[in-house]
Structures are given as C-alpha cells and as structure tokens.
Structure 1
C-alpha cells in the first residue's frame, strides 16, 4: 500500500462553518411564547384595563375583541407573505416586495425605532413596578435606577444565550402571569361575581358609547409585538407552517383572553359599581378583586408576577430587536460587526450587546435629567415605538396586494387582496384613534404629543433619504437589500 508523505498529502480544510442562528430550534408554541410575552398580558390587564373600563364603561371587553378581529384580518395577508418571503427582515422585507426598496429602507428604520422604543421605555416600568412590589410586600422603598440597570444586564444575558433558552424562560414566566389572571377569573366565576354573572358588557347599548373609541386605542396598543412571529423564521421548525400558526395562536389567545379577563373584572365589582371603583383606584382594581375572591396571598403573588411579566416582555422585545439588527447588518445597512453570531449559543450577541448599551444610555440620560421613570421614560419612549409598529402593520397590509399582483402564485384573492385591503382600512382607523387619544397614553402636553407622533413620519422620511443615498453611493448594497436568500437557507423547513 503506497505511503503518501505529508508534503504530498492533499491539504485538509481547517475552516469550520461560520456560526449561524440555530435553525429548527423553535416550534409553534415557542414562537407564540415570545410574542404573547412581549404583550405582557398581566401588566396590560392590571395596569391599563382599569382605565379602559373607566373610559368605556362595561362595554370595554368588546374593544379587545374588535382589536383582535382587526389584527386577525391583518394576519391573513401577513402570514401569506411569510410563505413567499424567506428572509429574516419580516416587515421591511414584505414592504420592499410590495412598495419598493425606498419604502423598505424606511420600514427598516421604523422597525429599529419601534422595537427599541417598545423595549427601552419598559425599563422605566420595571423600576416603578419593582418599587411598588417592594413597598406593597415590605413597606420599604427602593430606587428605580439600580433596578432598571440590573434589568438591562439580566435581559442582555438572556439575549446572549441561545434562543431555546429564552423560549424556556418565557414559557415559565408566561404561564405564571396568565395563571394568576385565570385564578382571579376562576374565583369570580365560582362566587358568581358581586351580583351574579351578567352579559350586559356585550350588548350594543353598552358598546356603542363615546368612550369606546378610547377603549379601542388602548386595546390595539395591548397587542403590540404580536407580528414579531415572522422575525423568528430562520430559527423555526418548518417555518412556512410554524410562523402562521404562531401568529394566529397569539392573536386569538390575546383577543379572547383580554376580553374574558376584563369581563370577569367587571363581574367582580358589578356592572353598576365597576366604573366608580376603577375611577377611585385604577391601579388597585385588580389587586382588590383578587384579594376579595382569592385571598391576600394572591394579591402579593400578583405584585411579584407583574415584575416578572415586565421582564418577560423585555426579553421578548430584546430578542426581536436582535434579529432585526442582525438582518440589517447582513444587508449592509448597519455595521457588519453587528452580524456576528455566537459560535456556541447561535445568538446575534454583538447586536444584543449594542442594544443593551443603547438602552443603558437612554435610561441613564432620563435619570440624569430627573425624568419620571413611568410618566416620561416609559410613556414618552414607548409611544413612538407603538405608533411605529402600527405604521409598519399598515404598510405591510398595503404591500401584500401590490406584491401578489406582480408575481405568479396560487394564493386565493381573499388572502392576497380582500383581507389585506380590509386590514389596511381597519389599521388606518386604529392609528387615527390612537393619535387622537395620545394624551391618554402619555399624559403630556399637546406639544410633547405632537413631537412624539411626529417621530414616526420623520424616521420613515429619513429612511427614504437613506435609500436614495444608497442607490447613488452604494448601488450594490441597495440592489441586494431585502433580496431573497438562497434556497438552502430554508433547509429548516423540512419536517
């Protein structure tokens, strides 16, 4: 047998595959955990639903149902696009297909502002929620800033680890926060409410009232982040099925769960008394109800679980931001260094570190200015984020029929035209409702509200300008923007 010397032996490749996201890591339930956790159901119910009841009366549960129906209609076209666009850019990739690269770049910047706004502002809520919990349980006070900074580090670590690690954490936290609300509902149903159970909340006379417009504004805000299912396409098992299923599951669960829990809270006090109770102590409405129907220990548990609910929302948004940042770094819109993926955890860890640093800068800036962590850090930063994501939903709905007019496909007209056009009309109404009731979200002056609302069109216009610059100065980058990845990039779709 001939011997081959080391000098003549063919060179063996020592190059290892480049690190990549963990394809096939997430199933339907995992992705649904991410998007439902981002909505923070317990925080929305205990913190915002009393205001919806105060403004809209006992018809408030229907507002959440109507918002859920609207977003389910939007999901029809959105999930249809998800089967035809394989890239990781979700919103901006869909919008590029239908409205062109200029609008796509504008949408990419809106996504960065929207998701960062929704996350960074919530660090103010983390600080105040922890303050309230510590005071309720021990009677002592804690400063909000160290809590918020500790939260930044904790969430940064969660994003640094693998995506399935985050899914397991969110699964536990989501089960806990929804569990305490189910416990409240069970107590109310078993006891029969304050005066017996009533379906008056669903009658036209209680729904068609002036305050319903404000309820709808709160309700649409309560679903923010549900569309991030498509961001996890590259890590999903069989994404052409998993992403649509997770989207419908998230929308359906949130719409029905919100409406049911708000209705049970109304029953806890009675149709005639609940509005007065919400007006006298909105922050304590749910705690009072669970103390009465379950026990003081459950109210203590609810205080703790609100903090974990906020943490779950932060981790979900952090992971979404990381994947948008990764996609844009791979596109060449953001610095290439942000496209690095951890060789062990398969996470976009560099963009995660950058996002954590950005969050720390914003939080410290608000603290240095003496701003209120809830009334200013949370509300002023969250508001343009929420409006940005709603604007992205509208642009995506408009993009669907325009895209399918240009390509050959086998999708039905209901999915590619009727549902997206209906969703665009409904989302336009929702945006108008939110903008015209912005003072309910911010508690700020008309000048501040104008600035906050104006950030969204300003960012989109900046994106259009950036697209024009890219087309002139970096034509290769512009031409590759939101292009379809190679077919093998969807290898995870195999069952």
Structure 2
C-alpha cells in the first residue's frame, strides 16, 4: 500500500490502517497469475484448432513469433519497472512517459480492458461447464446459475489473501498444463500418426495467406502477461522478481503454445489435421487425447477446461482489484475502493465492486436472451483484448520518451532499440487483430465496428476527465501516478536503478 505522506494532497485517499501483504509473492507465484490468466488449456483446446484451420500446419510458428514480439516488448517494460514503482502498472508507465492526460486515458482503458477480459469469460464458464456435464453425465444444465456461482467463487478467492490465490492458481495451472503434457507424451511415444515431422517450420508452410489470422489468434493468447507489474507491492525483491516473472511467463507461453499446436498436428498428420479441424474444431484435442492416451484422459480434459477458466477468472479478478485500488489511492475512483482487509490484506472493496459489476453484465446478457459464448464471451472479451493490446502499444511508446527525460544508467538497447522495435511489432499485431476481428466474434460488420470502437472511446473519455481534474481537483491531477516514497518499497532499488523523473517533470 502506498503510504500518504504529510504533504500529500487532501483529495488523495488517506492511507488505511491495513496494507497489501508485501513480500508474499515470489517469481513462480507471479508467473502463475500471468500464465493462469492466459488459460493455456482453454486457448489450446478452444482456439488453436481454428488457427490450424486458417493457417495450416505452419500455425505453431505464429505462436513463436507472438512470443518473440512480446519478449522484445518486455525488455523495455521490465527495465522501466525498476524506475516506476507505483501500483498502476500500465497507466503509471504511460503517465511517466507521455504525460498525465494520456495516462488518465490509459487508466480508464485499463479498467475497461481488464474488466472486459474477465466478465466475458463468465459466459465461457457457463458453456464449458455445460459441455463438461453433458460429456461426462449426459446432463443438460443452464448456464446462468453456473456463471453466477462462478462470480461468487471468484469473488471469495479475491477476498482472501494474495498468497491464497497464488496457491490455488498453482494447483489449477499444474492440472491444465499437465493434461496437455500427457497428450504430448502419448503422441511422442507413439510417433504421431505418420512419424514426427518438422514440416511446420518450413517457410513454405509458414508464409501462407492464413498466417496473418494465426498471428492475430496468437497475440490474443498472450493477453494479460504484463500484469506482473501489478503485483510489485506484494512481491519479494520486486526489482528482480517482476522482470524474472515477466520473462518466465512470456517464454513459457510462447514455447508451450507452439509445442502443443505442433503436437496436435503430429497426432493427426500433416495431411489430415486441417480437414479434422474443419470438421469439428472443438473436438480436435479431445479426439487426439482419446486416441493416444485414453477416454479417461479426455474426461479429465473436460474437467480441467472448467478449472482453467476459473483460474483465468481469478487471475484477472486480482489484477482488476489492484488497478482499482491504485486509482482509488490516486483519488480518481471513489475512496472506499482503496480499503484493504485488515486480516487478508486484500483490496476487498474493489473486489466486491468488480463482482457486482460482473453480475450486472452477466444478468443483462441473460435477460436479453444472448448466447453466453457467441455474445457474452466474444462481444465483451474482444474489446477487452484490443484495449490491453493498445495499452501495450502506448507503454512501448512511453518507454523511450521516459528515458529521454531522466538520468539513468540503462543501455540504449533496453531504453530505445527494443521499445521502438516493440512499438512497430505491437502496432502490426493490433492491425492484424482488427482486420481479422470477424474470426474472433463471428458478428456482423456493424457489431464488429462497435466492438473495435470500445477501446478508443474508453481512452478518449479520459481526456475530458483529465481536463476536469486539472481544473476542479488540481491536487489529484498533479499527483496522478506520482512515485511513492522510497520507504514504500519492501526492497531498496538495485544499484543500476536511478531516481525517476519528479512529478513536476511530467508532460502536461
């Protein structure tokens, strides 16, 4: 929790007696949050077959390229994390590099993006549980009670301490990745359908028209990896833990995704896998694991897809709570959202608010007779995904701008070359996603246009808010995304970390 100093502006939230549980999370714990948010089993079983259908057997390379792009972004991102120590993650980075107006717009975009990424997934929880109940017991259950029960369960998980959440996610993540490793072992031991092949890496199979769509799916599969920085105040030795967790998460996801897609291609054979994906994409992984491991493993995969969705929901819920906490401490959101539970040391009021918001959205879609997958999930999740990608782009642009204005001892590769390259690559990724938006939503051009517009509208809404704060609440505006006192960090800065730019050095 960022303490309020004696000269802190009156409009900023006063420091509560309880603080976040500092020193609770190690590298593996933070990586669990990030990888769990990505929901690797759900992404592979639910989305990878479409990537294969569109991009052919070269699809694994798309996931590697996306991972490399985000690793390049992480170079500048983690370097700047040693200098910007506040709890606002993306919006704090953007504010320090591009000014308060842009930073406030980014803060609203972050709230919309993270909430979109989580709330839409309650529709997926309902349909995934329906599918599992039907596959295992032949039962047909309604999706709404499942989604509402999930809201309560995730709300409780966020209410508890952060180390409790880390332990839960650790167990669930091992389960969902373990079932995919089991599939891989079966395919490798039996040699695939026609022997193992490296044809997926051949340029002729990668450089095909469908590769652009594969890249769009691949970038979407990494959404939320940057949330490592959100847990800085609860990390042990954050100057080392946060960068390590970021690289670990990106590296694991990139390699794991590419390897798993390659494995399922081997399971069917290069010549047959595209046809199989076209006939029934949802059954591709279940058919493969039934063939190479057994029907019992397919039953487990059904169960673990549900737990994978729950893990993703809990990870995003915790990230949203900490964003809301930081903005309440800034004085931008209502002050009660900054309250921290005295026992669990969690931002429980923010968690309750987020759970209520999720329930309202879910109930609204149910009342409108919307499909939980095709509309609640895809129409809410897609704008959130685009919003977080735009935040990544803004952060990449902010990094070299920030380091131009402050004294530092970081190298040019980290502060200029990597961020500029990441800016180009991330802009390309956003273009790919937007131009292939119909693959994500299956909606009409009018609906797709509205969904794409959510991110820029949310960002633009921050500009008049910034103007209003500057005129009516100048103390809040001037202290927005200001650095906490040195004493607020649980660990002193590393030797190469230098003082950040003073708040009056921000662009206005």
* Shift in alpha-carbon separation, 1:28–1:222, aligned structure 2, 3 A: same
Matched residue, 2:440: 441
Aligned runs of 1:39-78 on 2, under 5 Å?
A: 39-78=38-77
Matched residue, 1:483: 482
Q: Matched residues in 2 for 1:381 and 1:275: separation?
A: 29
SS in 1 for 2:489: helix
Aligned runs of 1:9-408 on 2, under 5 Å?
A: 18-408=17-407
Q: How many residues get paired? A: 480
SS in 2 for 1:264: helix
Higher Cα Rg, which structure: 1
CA contact under 8 A between 1:24 and 1:492: conserved in structure 2? no
Matched residue, 1:467: 466
1:410 counterpart = 2:409: yes
Return structure 1 stretches of 4+ with deviation > 3 angstroms: 492-495
CA contact under 8 A between 1:35 and 1:228: conserved in structure 2? yes
TM-superposed deviation, 1:140: 1.1
TM-superposed deviation, 1:492: 4.1
Q: Matched residues in 1 for 2:238 and 2:105: separation?
A: 26
TM-superposed deviation, 1:491: 2.3
Once the two structures are superposed, residues 334-356 of structure 1 have per-residue CA deviations (whole angstroms, 9 ceiling, x without a partner) of 00000000000000000000000
Give the structure-2-normalised TM-score: 0.94
Q: Matched residues in 1 for 2:194 and 2:75: separation?
A: 41
CA contact under 8 A between 1:239 and 1:493: conserved in structure 2? no
Once the two structures are superposed, residues 242-265 of structure 1 have per-residue CA deviations (whole angstroms, 9 ceiling, x without a partner) of 000000000000000000000000
CA contact under 8 A between 2:486 and 2:492: conserved in structure 1? no
CA contact under 8 A between 1:238 and 1:494: conserved in structure 2? no
TM-superposed deviation, 1:311: 0.1
Q: Matched residues in 2 for 1:397 and 1:216: separation?
A: 19
TM-superposed deviation, 1:493: 5.1
Q: Matched residues in 2 for 1:271 and 1:451: separation?
A: 38
SS in 2 for 1:344: coil
Q: Matched residues in 2 for 1:177 and 1:491: separation?
A: 33
SS in 2 for 1:260: helix
Matched residue, 1:10: none
Query: Which structure 1 residue ranges, 5 or more long, are not aligned?
Result: 1-15
* Shift in alpha-carbon separation, 1:269–1:158, aligned structure 2, 3 A: same
Once the two structures are superposed, residues 56-83 of structure 1 have per-residue CA deviations (whole angstroms, 9 ceiling, x without a partner) of 0000000000000000000001101100
SS in 1 for 2:336: helix
Q: Matched residues in 1 for 2:248 and 2:464: separation?
A: 38
